[in-house]
Each structure stands twice: as C-alpha cells, then as structure tokens.
Amino acid sequence: MELDHFLRDPQSRRRFFRMTGVGVAGASAVLLGACSDDTKNPVRLGPDESDQADVEILNGLLDLEFMAIAAYKAGAPKLGGERLGIVKVFLEQEQAHADGLSGSIEELDGKPNRAKSDYDFPVLRTEADVLRFALDLENTAIAAYIDALPKFSEKKLRSTAASIITNEAEHASVLLDALGREPVPAAFVTGKAA
C-alpha cells in the first residue's frame, strides 16, 4: 500500500492501528512524525481536495468547541466562587477556539458549522457533576485534536491545533485539581476517545 494512500484514507489507518493494537493517542503520536516539513516525500493532495479535507476536520473540532461552550454555560449555575470564575475563563477560551476555527474555515473558503440549538447533556445536579462532565469533554477534545493534528495539510493549522491542545490540557489539569485529584497525573497528555 502506498504511503500517500495510507495517509489520506482514514479507513486504512484505522484498520492498521486496530490490527497492531495502537489506540487513538498512540496512532496520533505515530502519525505526528508525518507532520514534519519533509520536502523529499511530502504528502500531496490537490488544492481543492486538501482544503476540503481540512474544512471537514476543522468543522468536526468546531462542533466539539460549541458543545464545550454549551456545557460550560449549562453548568455555570451549579458553581460558585472560585470555580465559577474558572469556568467563566474556560468559557471565554472555548469561544476563542471556536472563533479561531471558524476563521480558519472561512480562510479555506469553507462554511463553518453552527452551534446546535440544544445538546443532550446528562443531568448535572451538583458542582462535582459539572466538573466531572467538563473534564470528560476536555479529554474528548484533547483526543480529537491529537487525532486531527497530523491530518491537516497546512503547517499553520497544525500549529493552531497544537496550541488548542495545550489549552485544553490546562483546562483538564485545573478541573482535576478542583475535583481533588492529581492535576498532572501523567507525563503525556492523550485525552480519551469519544
């Protein structure tokens, strides 16, 4: 199988990593090596094809950002004091992520997705419920960005995704601490599969 076909075909990659037992985070780490500026064997897609693929990936990430924004808004009434202040900051940052992704989509002549009018969130009765749910969303976002990172055709998009991963990992660390758990539980941030 040609490397170019493998890198472009998500089904081939999934089958390969399933057969070898590598998970989403491990697969992303393996493919991250393909993100270098290798001019000898670059993956080449036509301009329309690569831009469209980038727009689809960006819109998927944008959907996650919209979900996080809605979740933080829904959970805020259950929080007070310092934790409410933290969530307000997170909400602003998630909105900045959404705005940045929308701008990138428009730069590629794509149409950004819109937020849903309603999300099917679980019932969040307590502050701990809100914090645990927010942590799950942050970990899902981290995993999704790690998975998307090597798929982008442009270095600028990979840089944007990497900076958002870093911010989402900061959010996860603060949420872990707020839940009374180890805020830096591992040397590698991988998130979790959705």
* Structure tokens, 178: 């707020």
Express each pLDDT in 81-117 by its tens digit: 999 999 999 999 999 999 999 999 999 999 999 999 9
Which pLDDT value is given to residue 174?
97
> Domain limits at 168?
49-178
Amino acid occupying residue 151: K
Which pLDDT value is given to residue 112?
98
Whether 26 is covered by a domain: the verdict is no
Whether 140 is covered by a domain: the verdict is yes
Express each pLDDT in 135-165 by its tens digit: 999 999 999 999 999 999 999 999 999 999 9
DSSP 8-state secondary structure symbol assigned to residue 121: P
Residue 69 CA: distances (Å) to CA of 34, 77, 108:
32, 14, 24
Q: How many residues does the chain have?
A: 194
Number of domains the chain contains: 1
Sign of the dihedral defined by the CA atoms of residues 19, 22, 28, 29, in that order: negative
95: CATH: 1.20.1260.10
pLDDT at 47 exceeding the cut of 60:
no
| Out of 27-31, 47-51, 84-88, 142-146, least confident range | 27-31
Which pLDDT value is given to residue 50?
81
Whether 28 is covered by a domain: the verdict is no
pLDDT band at 4 (very low <50, low <70, confident <90, very high): very low
> How far apart are alpha carbons 23 and 170 in whole angstroms?
23
Whether 82 is covered by a domain: the verdict is yes
Whether 9 is covered by a domain: the verdict is no
> How far apart are alpha carbons 190 and 170 in whole angstroms?
13
Site of tokens 């270095």: 155
pLDDT at 173 exceeding the cut of 90:
yes
Whether 42 is covered by a domain: the verdict is no
Winning range, highest mean pLDDT, from 16-20, 50-54, 86-90: 86-90
> How far apart are alpha carbons 138 and 127 in whole angstroms?
16
Which pLDDT value is given to residue 145?
97
pLDDT at 179 exceeding the cut of 90:
yes
> How far apart are alpha carbons 28 and 13 in whole angstroms?
10
Residue 80 CA: distances (Å) to CA of 66, 77, 83, 133, 174:
23, 8, 6, 16, 15
Which pLDDT value is given to residue 192?
72
Q: In angstroms, what is the C-alpha Rg of the chain?
A: 18
Contacting residues for 180 by C-beta, under 8 A, at least 6 apart: none
> How far apart are alpha carbons 77 and 73 in whole angstroms?
8
